Structure 1
């Protein structure tokens, strides 16, 4: 059994996270043709179709969704080895704020790897809404923040877009004769308003059957078959949920805009904050060119 080629996996992960070959090509500093060729080589190697392609972008197939967490693990292990060998004497405390949608995805697992590579860096993590995290950043209670750039009242160090996916319970099949049942996020969720606008423009009747500000509650309602919702890839429970799409009569879902924010850290903490900042750039933007990463690392708000 051959080892999976990490270069091909990086191309696949970047396309999955950006939702387009063109965007992945820019991020990886490659041509679109080169990225497309790498995707075909990976699909040929695995004997599985990983992506559905259309003029409007790409979407993961069932096999693609299954491969994605393994690809993250394989690429992350290589990066972790480099970090452990170059950890040096980085030490200090870093206070990180995250949205709940990010906090229950793959990032917490990545942060455990960060702690293993940098045992002298103590992480203090706060999970809250973007508005609340924005206030904490302004008051000097956070060093780094991952949140919604439309809500956080600070210039982002960098921004990126992640695709959202329609999801329903494993046995859920939308009916064209009845209004689409929606499990909605409450509060100030901008993604939810985009979802309803997209359905309205597509001429799809809908009704909200459940509303919650809690991500686990939304996930549980979807698993119970109450209706459909939109989730980030890392929040989809594939053992109990099914990704829905055009074949189910649904329009393309919106995307999620996220930003990384920081503030000047005291000298004693600066190295630890910078190290976590670089780590987050790598984890949230796998394949980001080194020149761009160095450029963002030099920015101060």
Structure 2
């Protein structure tokens, strides 16, 4: 029956293949075997009695009938999501639980969350600020509706992701002496930044010693400003009047790259979806190289 061809799973698979222009890329994005996706496409064509995809040297493209069906498939899926959102719309009296790595909270809390509150005046926000591994643990236990933290701490795929540059930061008068160990300020374990920092120093053979350890960015900043040592920070955390970015000529490694991700449920309700977009826009404005 034709109605069987309107199975949302088949429609989503078809739309994904058309958008990626490749069965292999669509399968990889969905975390599925290409053979399983190919079987779905053949089943869809059999149900409709039409050829929907044509192979090219680069992948696949919709046929004339496939283009027509793609438009309808997209509309059907969009309408289905709207129905689910309206019927299952979360009451704004129920809190949205958002987990943010502290370095992310500094960036997004003043802007994105204020916009969200203005859009939903009765909204109750439950914000958890912690290190990425703790945020990941809470996410895995189902204690959060949204999370933004380092991708290395998460097992699943992020809704959006960004490559973030971590800079070597010293006090405004910091001039490391290459003849002496580099004084460093690190985050308390467990911390992905800390591990990356120590690995990078070891790779270039730079002797170092720990002068301050803390879980708090405020304490890390204070230590850097007081001249206690060098720390890793994002550009947004740097206070130019009291800190400076150290070049490699100062005996530190090049800036490190860490990937951050925005994690959300597969089918967020309308309020959570709004939070996703606001958080994503806020982060994109600062890290414009996101995929």
TM-score by length of 1: 0.59
Task: Provide the rounded CA distance (Å) in 1 between the counterparts of 2:236 and 2:210.
Answer: 24
Equivalent residues of 1:144, 1:263 under 8 A apart: yes
Unmatched 5+ stretches in structure 2: 1-88
* 1:5-31: CA deviation from partner (whole Å, max 9, x where unpaired): xxxxxxxxxxxxxxxxxxxxxxxxxxx
Task: State the shift of 1:259 in Å.
Answer: 1.0
Aligned equivalents of 2:202, 2:138: Cα separation in 1: 36
C-alpha spacing 1:114/1:209, structure 2 compared with 1 (3 Å):
same
Residues 214-233 of structure 1: pairs in structure 2 closer than 5 A: 214-233=216-235
Alpha-carbon spacing, 1:247–1:114, altered in 2? closer, same or farther (3 Å): farther
> Are residues 167 and 288 of structure 1, via their aligned partners in 2, closer, same or farther at CA, if it must alter by over 3 Å?
closer
By how many angstroms is 1:216 displaced? Answer: 1.4
- Secondary structure of 1:95's partner? strand
- 2:116: which partner in 1? 114
* Cα deviations by residue, 1:127-152 (Å, 9 ceiling, x for unpaired): 12333323332333211001122222
The runs of 4+ residues in structure 1 deviating greater than 4 Å are none
Residues 1:253 and 2:252 are matched in the alignment: no
Structure 2 Cα separation of the partners of residues 194 and 245 of structure 1: 18
Evaluate the alpha carbon distance shift between residue 166 and residue 118 of structure 1 in structure 2; reply closer, same or farther with a 3 A threshold: same
In 2, distance between residues paired with 1:182 and 1:237? 18
Residues 114/256 of structure 1: CA separation in 2 closer, same or farther (3 Å cut) = same
| Counterpart contact for 1:167–1:228, Cα < 8 Å | yes
Over the aligned positions, Cα root-mean-square deviation in angstroms equals 2.7
- Using the alignment, how far apart are the partners of 2:142 and 2:199 within structure 1? 37
2:156 aligns with one of 145, 151, 154: 154
Shift of 1:271: 0.7
- SS of the counterpart of 2:164? strand
User: Alpha-carbon deviations, 1:273-300, whole Å to 9, x = none?
Assistant: 00111111211123999xx99xxxxxxx
Aligned partners of 1:238 and 1:288: how far apart in 2? 19
Q: 2: distance between equivalents of 1:164 and 1:288?
A: 12
Preserved contact between residue 115 and residue 278 of structure 2 (Cα < 8 Å): no
CA distances 1:208-242 after superposition (whole Å, capped 9, x unpaired): 11122222111111111011011011211222111
With structure 2 as the length reference, what TM-score do the two structures score? 0.61
**Structure 2 partner of 1:45:** none
Does residue 102 of structure 2 align to residue 100 of structure 1?
yes
Report the CA distance between 1:184 and its aligned residue. 1.2
